[in-house]
């Protein structure tokens, strides 16, 4: 607990008078969030909600990226494609990301800072992909809890407690739509924002230019997901807990 908390890097920030965010999506690396739920984030921005992205690490080194600055610039371009209001990099270690006190507090500080109503993050392991994704899920779960704990002010620089109202789990575009062990799934219609999602992914030239037909594959995955819910393209989520609605007709028929 004596290990220092890394200083975050603010890549995009809302104005001081509009600092609160409705939604924060948390990824282990720049490009995780875009691949998982970029269409949903773009859609929420269009709907007037204030949206932010938090990357736990800088994602480097990777085989085709020359340096950290390149990946950083790509992540800013991707955020601009989606229209999000804030993007923060926590500067935790890539490849050796581990759930622990330092990582939990670093993320919980951002939740207290931006006070989101909804937090979105990884919901499962990604077989044969980075183990950072699984660690990111555990860090996010813990940070949602830490954010609301009172009588712990010494770790939060005076930021007041904040209770996140809803937590959703996402999965990467090529992972199964249904997450094992999670019973409360939903699909967001992202047909009108799919091209924005694809543009945000294309911003990561260092990560995807060497992968043939990546846009076609992600588009196809979104079409398959959407077809299950009767829409052209979709992104799948699971809720960490059941939640109630007061207007069933409006909720179910909102398309």
Residue with the two structure tokens 């494609």 = 81
What is the average pLDDT across 147-165?
Answer: 94
> Which has the minimum average pLDDT: 31-35, 107-111, 126-130?
126-130
Expressed in percent and rounded to 5, the helix, strand and coil fractions of the chain are: 40, 15, 45
Please tell me the distance from the alpha carbon of residue 97 to that of residue 100, in angstroms, as a whole number. 9
Q: What is the mean pLDDT of the chain?
A: 94
Q: Which residues contact 124 (CB under 8 A, 6 or more apart)?
A: 134, 137, 169, 171, 175, 179, 180
Helix pair 68-82, 32-46: axis angle to 10 deg:
30
User: What is the reported pLDDT for 182?
Assistant: 85
Task: Tell me the pLDDT tens digit for each residue of 182-211.
Answer: 888 999 999 999 999 999 999 999 999 999
pLDDT above 90 (res 140): yes
Vertex 94 angle, CA 195 and 66, to 5°: 70
In the structure, what pLDDT confidence band is assigned to residue 116 with cuts at 50, 70 and 90?
A: very high
User: What is the reported pLDDT for 16?
Assistant: 62
User: What is the reported pLDDT for 20?
Assistant: 93
SS3 state of residue 191: helix
Residue 26: name the closest of 196, 140, 147 by CA: 140
pLDDT above 70 (res 137): yes
User: What is the reported pLDDT for 180?
Assistant: 83
Domain residue spans in the chain? 9-253
Assigned CATH for 9-253: 3.40.50.10320
What's this model's pTM, rounded to 2 decimal places? 0.95
User: What is the reported pLDDT for 17?
Assistant: 61
Measured CA to CA in angstroms, residue 245 lies from 156, 231, 251 at distances of 33, 22, 7
């Amino acid at each position: 607990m004596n290990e220092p908390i890394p200083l975050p890097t603010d890549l995009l920030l809302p104005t001081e008078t509009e600092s609160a965010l409705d939604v924060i999506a948390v990824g282990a690396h720049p490009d995780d969030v875009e691949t998982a739920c970029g269409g949903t984030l773009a859609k929420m921005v269009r709907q007037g909600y204030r949206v932010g992205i938090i990357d736990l690490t800088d994602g480097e080194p990777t085989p085709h990226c020359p340096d950290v600055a390149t990946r950083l610039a790509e992540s800013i371009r991707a955020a601009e494609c989606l229209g999000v209001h804030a993007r923060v990099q926590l500067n935790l270690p890539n490849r050796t990301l581990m759930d622990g006190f330092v990582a939990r507090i670093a993320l919980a500080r951002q939740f207290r800072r931006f006070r989101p109503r909804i937090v979105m993050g990884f919901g499962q392991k990604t077989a044969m992909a980075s183990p950072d994704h699984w660690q990111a899920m555990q860090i996010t779960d813990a940070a949602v809890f830490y954010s609301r704990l009172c009588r712990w002010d010494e770790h939060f620089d005076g930021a007041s407690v904040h209770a996140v109202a809803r937590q959703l789990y996402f999965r990467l575009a090529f992972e199964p739509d249904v997450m094992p062990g999670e019973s409360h799934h939903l699909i967001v219609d992202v047909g009108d924002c799919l091209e924005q999602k694809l543009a945000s992914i294309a911003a990561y030239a260092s990560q995807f230019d060497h992968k043939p037909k990546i846009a076609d594959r992600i588009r196809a995955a979104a079409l398959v997901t959407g077809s299950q819910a009767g829409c052209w393209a979709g992104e799948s989520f699971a809720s960490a807990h059941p939640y109630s609605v007061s207007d069933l007709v409006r909720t179910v028929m909102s398309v």
